[in-house]
Amino acid sequence: EVEAKYTRKMQALRDEMDLRRKTELHELEERKNSQISELMGNHEGAFGAIKNYYNDITAKNLTLINLLKEQVEDLKKKETVLEKEKAEVLLQNKELTGPLQEAQDLVAELQKKLVHYYRDKEALTNSKAHLKITQKELKDLQWEHEVLEQRFSKVQAERDELYQKFTRAINEVQQKTGFKNLLLERKLHGLLNLLEQKEVELNEVIAASNLSPSAVSLVSHKLEDVLNSKNATIQDLQQQLARVCKAHNDMLQTFEAKLTAFGIPLDNLGFQPLSFPFPGQ
């Protein structure tokens, strides 16, 4: 009974489920058909719109193609005209090639001249600056030159004055030295002559007196003493003469050195200074 009961319930449930399934299938079928109808309507509308769109595009393209054809014809005509103009321009260009080359050469030469111009301009600027510096240095040198000329004039005046003093001094010294040397030489010659005379007189006295050898010896010793004294006097005079000659020569050398230092030639003295030799030379 239970099995029959549940078999009935299962059958009833199965029938109910079949009915529900059929109902749902029917609803699904209706919705599907509705959607299909709606999609077909939408597709037809879209197809019509696309068809109209492409028809419009095709018409526009045909119009554009016709317009472009006309433009192409116009462009061909213009191209023909441009070809003619091109040929004329090429001919003119060929005719202008020579003047263009000349103009380019002229431009290149002018550019070189321009470079030289800038270089010369810079050199001129530098030269002007250097000229200003040189002019300033020239002014300084002129001022120094004037100062040096004044100093030179002063030194020249001092040199002339010193030259005159030296000339007077050398003349006086030469006169005094020459006179003194002459006196010394005369005195020396007088003493020598006197000595010779005394020797002769002594020999005559000895010969005339017939003195003994001891007396002759004594007289000889005395005579030798006298001669030694005279010889000492002669040597002293010779030394004095040598000192005077040396002082005179030293003074001449100093004077010549001073003249050389002041740039005065020795020939400008107007006389030849005497250089006395030392005794024995």
Tell whether 261 is covered by a domain.
yes
pLDDT at 275 (0 to 100): 56
Tell whether 10 is covered by a domain.
yes
The residue among 36, 70, 93 that closes a domain is: 93
Residue 255 burial (CB count, 10 A): 18
Point out the least confidently predicted range of 117-126, 128-137, 149-158. 149-158
The residue among 58, 93, 128 that closes a domain is: 93
Cα separation, 234 vs 194, whole angstroms: 12
Q: Is the dihedral of CA 252, 258, 263, 264 positive or negative?
A: negative
Instruction: Using CB atoms within 10 Å of the CB of residue 44, give its burial: 0 to 12 exposed, 13 to 18 middle, 19+ buried.
Output: exposed
> Which residues 6+ apart lie within 8 Å of 185 measured at CB?
241
Name the pTM for this structure. 0.28
pLDDT tens digits, one per residue of 130-144: 888 888 888 888 888
How large is the average pLDDT for residues 104-131? 85
Domain limits for position 223: 217-280
Instruction: Count Cα neighbours of 95 within 13 Å in the Cβ-side half-sphere.
Output: 6
Cα separation, 185 vs 192, whole angstroms: 10
Tell whether 68 is covered by a domain.
yes
pLDDT at 30 (0 to 100): 92
Domain count, the chain: 2
pLDDT tens digits, one per residue of 229-252: 877 887 888 788 788 778 777 887
* 279 confidence band (pLDDT: 50, 70, 90): very low
User: Which of 174, 149, 170 is CA-nearest to residue 258?
Assistant: 170
Structure tokens at 201: 């007189």
The residue among 35, 66, 93 that closes a domain is: 93
Tell whether 34 is covered by a domain.
yes
